[in-house]
Amino acid sequence: MSMKDLFNSKKMLFINIALVCLIIGFFIGIVTLSCSTKITSNGVAFAQDESKSLEGLEALESIQYSFRKVAEKVLPVVVEINVVDIVTQDSPGFNSPWEFFFGPDKKDDGEKQPKQREYRQQGLGSGVIVKQTGNQVFVLTNNHVVGDAEEIKIKLYEGKEYTAKLVGKDERKDLALIVFEESNKVPVADLGDSDVVSVGDWALAIGNPLGYSYTVTAGIISAIGRHGGPGENISDFIQTDAAINPGNSGGALVNIRGQVVGINTWIASTTGVYSGYGFAIPINNATKSIDDFIKFGKVEYGWLGVQITDPVDEVLAGLDLTGIEGSFVSQVFKNSPADKSGVMPGDFIVKVNEINIKDTDHLLRIIADIPGGQTSDFNIIRMGDRITLKVKLGIRPEEKNIAAQNKNLWPGMSVVPLSKEIKEKLEIDSGTTGVIIAYILDDTPASIAGFQDYDVITKINTTDIKNLKDFYKSLNDTKKKDLDFYFKRKGVDLKIGLVR
């Protein structure tokens, strides 16, 4: 075969294509190497050049600038609060040298009462300026900051001092409002929306911890919807790791925009000082309280007139409520808004005015913020059926007045299924059926009639009680006013009658 024929052959065509690919690959390699990171003689490659480092520094400076602007915005709206309480204590003094050596004289009517002496006890806290109306400047703080103070002094960030007076206070949310007078305009806090706060958000706490005035600490929102704290606070607290210490109470928790999203209230600590967990009342829980304090001198809460609880799993299962969120009605006050609207013991409240109820604490907050006299829709599960009741709420009475109404709390007992485990533990005959009383509330119809914990209810009127549904169906039979309860106590059959 001639050379000409060889180059024109198919075999040579493939060889030519391969050579062209090699040449192209060679040039691509040269271009790639010329554009890549420079390799030094000692084999070290730099992953980032100086310009990249400067970009990172500028980003950090941007965050620093944001914190600085927040501090500049919020510090003027936070105040230092100094209070003086008058505390009465027994005096250790002696009336005579005789008493010093031999003790107090004794008379026929008993020992002499020790002398008492009044002491001035000082306290320190923080507050947030939330409103100015004319010459009146209103400061929101914690109830435990002002307490029963005889004197309240306020110091502004700029140094001016004022005498303040109490407008109103509320133990249920641990909030208080105080007022001082200033004819000139003062900075007022920008109140944010605590409902949009999320875990991981930046947070700054501003206050007067341990006497160090106008301290700013930074952290993040660690958690939301926390319960607990001192007393019986109904707030769903915001948790933060921004350092909070004694003296921070009543101060501001703010977001990265300088908006107040919470009022710092308490810390979780075994030593009394910060250990990583601080808690603030969401500002949305306080906005209605501010208006109520100014208008009424106190906070007005909605009143349903029930005792509600998060039931144990056995109760949920017995009423086919497993996996459903809501709050369980265990007792109802007679003639209360709930009673007049048809709410009954054993009802499970799952929604109020299109708001899905998560648990009992959530329902408490929802009811609390509904004005008395307003009619609301309560969506309820009763014996497996969903019903909606129109409920016109009242105004919640004082706590001492609520306790005095226990005689009207129906029925005054809470029951649970009579399980195999309970029978074995309490040595109840295995063939016994019914429900068992878990606890009795003092001064209620059930208590006054003589029911006791662990009584096993086996029948109401003519209906045998085999489970929770039987119990609540018979209990809520409005056609019958007189109810005869048949039950066993320590193996003895007994009967008690109650009038609805």
The catalytic residue positions are 144, 174, 249
What are the angstrom distances between the C-alpha of 149 and each of 88, 156, 282, 459?
A: 13, 19, 25, 56
User: What burial letters (b/e) apply to 233-271, b meaning 16+ CB within 10 Å?
Assistant: bbbbbbbbbbbbbbbbbbbbbbbeebbbbbbbbbbeeee
